[in-house]
Amino acid sequence: MSRLLKSEIPFPDGSGISQLFEPLAGRPWSAWLDSGTASAATAGFDILVADPVKTLVTRHGMTTITSAEGETLSSGDDPFDLLRTALGPREPVDLEGIPFAGGAVGYFGYDLARLLERLPEVACDDLGMPEMAVGIYEWAVVCDRGERRCWLVSSQYGDERSPQWQRLLERFGRECQGKIYPSGPPMQATAPVEVNMSRERYAHAFDRIQHYLEEGDCYQVNLAQRFSLAVEGDAWEGYKQFRQRSAGPFSAYLDLPGGQILCTSPERFLRLEQGRVETRPIKGTRRRDPEAARDAELSTELQCSEKDRAENLMIVDLLRNDLGKSCRTGTVRVPQLFQLESFATVHHLVSSVVCELGEGQDALSLLRGCFPGGSITGAPKLRAMAIIEELEPHRRGVYCGSIGYIGFNGEMDSNIVIRTAIHREGRLYYSAGGGIVRDSSCEEEYQESFDKAAAFLNCFSQ
């Protein structure tokens, strides 16, 4: 059994946990899994990592594995299997109440599904982001927001005398004592926002989906449009600006060679803890209103909407089927349906599906079997994804994939990549959409995408 090294470090005051990430923000493959405005339904832990000992990057079926020993290329091998090998055998370790003490952190892009299923190739892949980008980290800083405590942790360094552990103690012991780091320039737009679907093109796509629904091809399709704009300034500063407006309980900032990911997701995809699996799909949205009485009316309207509840239930049923691939027979349950959760710019309906992991299964087989999340595809999943490919002008890339961790001990937590901006080559890209069913209104669905993008547009557009 591995030994946990765990040393408490000061919980940051002032600017909060972002202060702890300041010395890491510019380091290779740095990442902050940010619990944002975590509620009682989430763990409320933050995980900060940098300097991975190994990275895995998948592009067009080719995975590049980089470590101190050099670089190897793997063509045609399943990226989930490669990551399982990179993590090594699951290591039993008592984490003493914290969720993570080293392992994999990164993203699994929506288009990773192309390596799992046969899908048409129509949409333009203009960003060229990897389908998967994951680092293997031997240490982490873990913060418990509820208890206001932080620890430096590792399960890989043997004992406190190891040189690696001593260097980390020195770094965080010194850097956590109120050291001030210079801020980069704030992020701001240099040109008006662009949208990849005109109102007319969106209406055409909506009509095509209605045709497919009437023909019985599918029951629900998630249609998204992409906003983009030229920006200048520092991506890390941009994330701090963005999270102030719309931090969600499954937020993240990742600084990767292909670009930076500024994620303020409200949605959990999959959590695996001590053999118990949970997913919390979101489906059903109303905008927030600054006037309290109207805001309450909108939340009540959402809770009472038969259409939104039916959409949510479709996705719950899809996820029950997906979980059935990896979970013990008879253990899939739905303990929560249609719970109202309110965020900075929208109200949502959220459900919960749980089960027990099956014999011979692990976090990666669970993730592979459910990928991508049904709440951002539609149902049935494969047909909905083919329609998305036909009607959305650009590949989704990171959007609608998943960001999270898989520990050396085999446990996992991950989000759905929504409410997320990608910073690449001087531009920000942000997608938003919603599920379309037979009784959807084109105007309402079109407006909903703007409601979901409101925090991004208010933060960055001119």
- pLDDT score, position 177: 55
Give 227-265 pLDDT, tens digit per residue. Answer: 999 999 999 999 999 998 888 999 999 999 889 999 999
φ/ψ of 78, rounded to 5, equals -65, 120
What is the three-class DSSP state of 45? Answer: strand
Place of tokens 């998967």: 132
Give 272-324 pLDDT, tens digit per residue. Answer: 999 999 999 999 999 899 999 999 999 999 999 999 999 999 999 999 999 99
- Enclosing domain of residue 390: 5-460
Query: Residues 367-381: what's their mean pLDDT?
Result: 95
Where would I find the beta strands (DSSP E) of 293-345? 333-342
What is the three-class DSSP state of 284? Answer: strand
Catalytically annotated residue among 22, 91, 138, 267: 267
Question: What is the C-alpha to C-alpha distance for residues 453 and 227, in angstroms, rounded to an integer?
Answer: 8
Q: Return the CATH number at 63.
A: 3.60.120.10
CA distances, 430 to each of 121, 194, 261, 288 (Å):
22, 10, 10, 20
pTM of the model: 0.95
> Do residues 390 and 326 lie in contact, with contact meaning Cβ atoms separated by under 8 Å?
no
- pLDDT score, position 458: 92
Number of domains composing the chain: 1
Catalytically annotated residue among 54, 283, 381, 452: 283
The proportion of the chain whose per-residue pLDDT surpasses 90, expressed as a percent, equals 79
Radius of gyration, alpha carbons of the chain: 21
> Do residues 61 and 75 lie in contact, with contact meaning Cβ atoms separated by under 8 Å?
yes
Question: What is the C-alpha to C-alpha distance for residues 418 and 224, in angstroms, rounded to an integer?
Answer: 11
Closest CA to 149 of 3, 17, 14: 17
Catalytic site residue 267?
Answer: yes
Query: Residues 191-200: what's their mean pLDDT?
Result: 96
- pLDDT score, position 175: 54
